[in-house]
Structures are given as C-alpha cells and as structure tokens.
Amino acid sequence: MSYDVVVPTGGRETLAALLVALGGGDGPLPGRIVVVDDRPAPAGPLALGDPPESLRELIEVHAGEGRGPAAARNTGWRRSRSRWVAFLDDDVLPEPGWRQALARDIDALADRAAGSQGRIRVPLPAERKPTDWERNTAGLERARWATADMAYRRDVLSALGGFDERFPRAYREDADLALRALDAGWEIAEGKRITVHPVRPAPRLVSVALQAGNADDVLMRALHGPGWRARADAPRGRLRRHLATTVAGAAGAAVLATRGPSKPSAALLGAWLAGTGELAWNRIAPGPRTPSEVTTMLMTSALIPPAASAHWIRGQMDRRRLLRHPPSKRPLPEAVLLDRDGTLIHDVPYNGDPSRVEPLPGAVEAVDGLRAAGVQLAVISNQSGVGRGLIGERDVAAVNSRVEELLGPLGPWLVCPHAPGDGCRCRKPLPGLVLAAAERLGVSPESCVVIGDIGADIEAARAAGARGVLVPTKATRREEVAAAPVVADSLREAVETILGPGGGA
C-alpha cells in the first residue's frame, strides 16, 4: 500500500501539532507529505514547528493560490505520486496508530472502492453543556465524506478532475466529489481509523459567517438535483424559516418607515420577533446558558436569517454563471516526456558545448506549468553523435546539465547514444526510451504524453502506447505533421493542450 498525505493550510498554528501526531505510532510512512500553503498573502515562511525526524525528509511545502481548500487540495494531490492520497485538515490530530489503521482500511477495500472515510471524533467538555460552536464542530462526527480525514485513489481523482473549485469554502466540496465518484460507479467505504478534531477558538460572529454555505447549497442542487441532500445525508437546515423571518422583518420595517398602517407593521414585526426568538431559544436551550453565550446567541440569531437569505440569493444569481464555466474534467497525464533538441532548446546538431544551449521561446513557462500541475517530467533524447564518435557521453551530460540550469529540474534523463545502424531498441522511433522513462517514474506508458518536434517522437509514443503531441519546427516534414494525432504551434501551446486552459486547474 503506497500513499501520500495532502494537507491544505491557511497557516494555522495547529499544523505543527498535526505533523507531530502523524509521526506517532506504527504503520507505513507516506511517500510524501504535501503541505499546500494557501495563505492569500504570506508574511513569511510557513511554520511547520518541529516535525518528527522520520517525517522531515517527506514534507514538501507548495504554494497555493489562496482560492480555498478545493483548489489547494487539487494542488496537493496533483503532486502526489502514490496510488492513494490521504487528505487531512490542518487542525486535526490523527490518533496514535493512524498510519497502521489507514493501511488496514485501504487493504480491506473492494476493487470498486474509490475512497475510505476516516472516523472523526470531536472532544467536548465533560463538565458543562457544549456551546453552539462546539455543537456545530461536533457535527463533523456525523458528516459523510469529510476531508478532515479522507483517502482517495489517485487515479479516481485524476479521472474525476479532482475537487470542483467552484466551491470556494470548506463546505460541500467534499460531498460534491463523493457524489461524482458514486455516479461514476465507485463506492466509498467507512474505515476504522480515528482522527481527533479539537474545537478551535472562533470569533463571536462565526455562526453568521457560516451562512455563506447557503450559496454552495444552491450550486449542489444545480449539479446533483433536488435529491442531493438525501444522498449526501445532509440535513435540510432552516433556510425556509430564515427566508420567512427575513421577509417579515424587512416588510414590517418598510411599512413602519413609510408610516403605513400600524397593525400590519406590528404583525410583521411580531412575526420577525417570533422567528428570531424561536431560533435563539433553540440555540440557547441545549447550551451552557452562561451570560456570554446567551448574549452571543441573541445577537447572532438576529443576524443569521438575513445573512442566510442574502447568501442564498447570491447563490441563485451566481448559479448560471458557474454552470456556464464548469471546471475542466480532462484527466491529467501521470507524466510528460520531453524531447530535448528542437523541443526544449534550439537544435544545434551534435552539440557538446553547454555555452551553445539556448531555450526555445516559452519553454521555461511551459515546464513551469507542468510542474505547477504536479505532472512528472522526464527527457528522452536521441544522441547519435556519441555513436558516431562526434561527441562523448560527458559532453552530452554537460549539455543536459546546462539545460536544467536554464529550465529547472526535468526529472530523469534517458538518452540513446547509439548510431542509426547500431540495431538498438531505445532509439526513437522505437519505444525503448518511452518505456524506460515510464518505468523510472513508476507510471504506465498509457498515462504518459510525449512532446517532440519530429515524427520519430510521435512514433515512439505510439509504439509504447503513450499519447504524442507534435510541435513542428522548420526541420519537421509535412508528412510528419499530417500523421501526428495532435499538433501544437509551440511547447507552451502543447502544455495548454495537455493540461487545459489555465494550467489544468
């Protein structure tokens, strides 16, 4: 069982405690721990605390875009290389033995299982009744498919396009992904591992801010139909009552402001007061009823109905726009294999001089886009000058090193040094280099894309079962262009073709 851990974070101090807890107990270590720094305006390096020594070499910090947990999780899993991706929130504490329990949960899954849900435990105070916020957090114990602890197969994430980034909050994006997985014929199982979710401090108006989720519920209905709540086991909530209370209060205030009849105004304001009072009492009664809690409940109960109504209206207004621009569902390739001469750098025949290396226009941006999307890279290059005795292998290595100085790390380099008549199996258009690169990266050839500038690159891809994209140069023959399945005008356009507009997001 191979797995990676993805943790999106807004910079909470609890991240350090999570990493310490993750290192405790027995069980297989993850291949990597991808921490996505999703702070909109980082003031400095992300604080990781003092992670256990066993995890330090596994932790990678990648910059997010500050667009919410759905986008951050996509950034994370696309950098994963393992078969399974375990998502954890940055404010949870996996119990000792969590890694071993995760391995058991995954090993017990059926073939059609796309994911495994961990069990969330929210500790509540034993000496008093829980506050409204504590009860709200405790609802995670009953939530289905909560990504506070959720593991998915990476190939399922790739096939589904990952999390829908039209959900900007930590709300409903996990249910949306699970419903799409179920619609595709997969199953989601409940595991036995346990993750503790402490109740974190929250501002006094947190319950008002949470009403923004009403806009996400509008999108859920549009995407999954009116029965989505039953399928997701999501309570209906109080939206209808909030709308009625808000309308009554607004209408009563309008009649009063225009000095209209006093009886209608009093009746409407009375209905508003009754609705607000009923909401407040339902939140106060099960709680500790301290003066501070009662004051907070009274104040926020007056604000919640109009806030919920406003967000619902905003969701209705945004619905058509969001549906017109769905996220890309194109599965990302596991790896992109790049030709060197004529694709990444200007083609200088039999070049052994690093000073003559010059990247093609847009090459830097193109490979940066592939890295940002979490796609593995490799370079596959015919260098027959070695076999012809024109340059040495050290010359080739020096040129390759210069290419990486200019373009950044490009993954493993696989070079065929043979002359055309040597009868090797690695020289393109034969599939040897493609197959070797896929093996080195731990992926199947079918999940790779080869980008090159001549027909031999495309033929090698086809022979190995990979996909090919041709970026013609002046040296590319017309018949090679005609035979290529996909043709792009530049390396940058080829990458956009593979990942989709905006880098695959």
The DSSP bridge partners found for residue 61 are: 35
Q: Exactly one of 341, 395, 453, 457 is catalytic; name it.
A: 341
Q: How many CB atoms lie within 10 A of CB 386?
A: 21
Angle at which helices 393-407 and 363-372 cross, to 10°: 80
Nearest of 112, 118, 86 to residue 187 by alpha carbon: 112
Q: How many CB atoms lie within 10 A of CB 399?
A: 23
**CB distance 242 to 305 below 8 Å:** yes
Q: How many CB atoms lie within 10 A of CB 26?
A: 11
Q: Exactly one of 339, 395, 453, 457 is catalytic; name it.
A: 339
Nearest of 194, 162, 173 to residue 25 by alpha carbon: 194
Taking the C-alpha atoms of residue 294 and residue 297, their distance in angstroms, rounded to an integer, is: 5
Q: What tokens does 338 get?
A: 């790049």
3-state secondary structure at position 196: strand
Q: What tokens does 363 get?
A: 């090459």
Structure-token match 């999940």, residue found: 447
Taking the C-alpha atoms of residue 276 and residue 127, their distance in angstroms, rounded to an integer, is: 29
In single-letter form, the type of residue at position 47 comes to A
Identify whether 341 is a catalytic site residue.
Answer: yes
Taking the C-alpha atoms of residue 505 and residue 166, their distance in angstroms, rounded to an integer, is: 11
Taking the C-alpha atoms of residue 483 and residue 477, their distance in angstroms, rounded to an integer, is: 10
Identify whether 339 is a catalytic site residue.
Answer: yes
Beta-carbon-side half-sphere exposure of residue 66 (alpha carbons within 13 Å): 4
Q: Is 32 left (phi over 0), alpha (psi -120 to 50) or beta?
A: beta
Angle at which helices 98-107 and 14-22 cross, to 10°: 70
**CB distance 150 to 195 below 8 Å:** no
Kindly list the distances between the CA atom of residue 207 and the CA atoms of 87, 130, 148, 197, 212, in Å, as whole numbers in the listed order: 25, 15, 20, 18, 10
Taking the C-alpha atoms of residue 401 and residue 349, their distance in angstroms, rounded to an integer, is: 17
Nearest of 208, 166, 220, 236 to residue 308 by alpha carbon: 208
Nearest of 369, 287, 338, 333 to residue 445 by alpha carbon: 333
Taking the C-alpha atoms of residue 398 and residue 314, their distance in angstroms, rounded to an integer, is: 58
**CB distance 378 to 337 below 8 Å:** yes
Beta-carbon-side half-sphere exposure of residue 91 (alpha carbons within 13 Å): 14
Residues catalogued as catalytic: 339, 341
